[in-house]
Amino acid sequence: VGGGSGTGLVGSPGAGETGAMRRGLVLIVCAQAMWGLSPAFWRLGSEVPALDMLGHRAFWTFVTVFVIHVVRRSLRAVRTAAREPRTLLLEAMAGVLIGSNWLVWVWAVTNDRVVEGSLGYFITPLVSVVLGVVVVGERLRRAQWAAVALGAASVTWLTVDMGRLPWVSLFLAATFGVYGLIKKKVDRPPIDMLAIELTVMLPVTLGYLAYRTSSGHDVLFSGTLIEVMVLLASGVFTAAPLLFFAGGVRRAPLSVVGVLQYLSPSINFLLGVVAFGEPFGSGRLVGFALVWTGLAVFTADGIQSVRPPRRR
């Protein structure tokens, strides 16, 4: 498997490249697992308005990342990166994308639309693959195309089964797919870039939270103990998978990242159906089976491709 530089996916990588790719895959899997389980976390604050949750999530994530930079003594690197116009522009765009993605996802989770949200993250890998082929110039092997085709069939089936335009799904897929592409384009440490994204959000975040506090509606002062704990923990819960994802996407081709993103929506889907009792019929079962079949095909091909050649 080659890198994402447009040289394609054909040929055997060197030991260093293979090691970096494997580390990237581990980071991406960790991020996907945390995102997959996230509905259980956010539903603990289901009575908190989505905008309030977004405001506190952005603020406490900023605090978490700031503390990390203070401990690492790396704030100067963030300031240096922010002085580069291209980097600042891309990270400003990334901040807007991830902030809007958070808002719609939390709204979906707290309004019993986890299954529809999971469909959005089933679509996201297809967006990533298209971006990888069209923008980055990556190429896919036959098995990878087969996996993508199964994923496309799954998304199509699930969309028809819902019987309406899944706007939540489409919005989540578009915002996160482009976010992933931006992370691929910025050659800076992930934690530095996350700090810039959160700083872009900070003025609006502080203004909104100040307004809510002055009007006596800030959940941090009026919510239950569990709601307050969710708000305070939201920073760590948000920062960790974002850093895992950003670190992984820089080491692995977007085509690989794309199909691995089936993991989190699969977990979301199971939570929505089994834990939260959202509608689940034979139609959705077929779509779910198609996704996992595609993931199995891709995983088998990926394991085979990263094995070092045998010595003769």
Residues shown for the chain: 312
User: What pLDDT, in 10s, does the model give residues 190-216?
Assistant: 788 889 999 989 999 999 999 999 988
Q: How far is CA 303 from CA 144, 251, 312, in A?
A: 12, 16, 21
Counting Cα atoms < 13 Å in the Cβ hemisphere of 178 gives: 17
Can you tell me which residue has the tokens 């996916």?
Answer: 9
Confidence (pLDDT) at 255: 64
Residue 308 tokens read as 């070092």
Confidence (pTM): 0.78
Q: How far is 194 from 102, CA to CA, in rounded Å?
A: 14
Q: How far is 202 from 210, CA to CA, in rounded Å?
A: 12
Q: How far is 301 from 292, CA to CA, in rounded Å?
A: 14
Distance of CA 41 to the CA centre of its chain: 16
* Cβ contacts of 171 within 8 Å, gap of 6 or more: 100, 101, 104, 120
Confidence (pLDDT) at 151: 79
User: What pLDDT, in 10s, does the model give residues 24-57?
Assistant: 888 888 998 998 999 999 999 989 999 999 999 9
The mean predicted confidence, pLDDT, of the chain is: 83
Q: Is the dihedral of CA 177, 257, 39, 151 positive or negative?
A: positive
Confidence (pLDDT) at 310: 52
Helix (H, G, I), strand (E, B) or coil at 20: helix
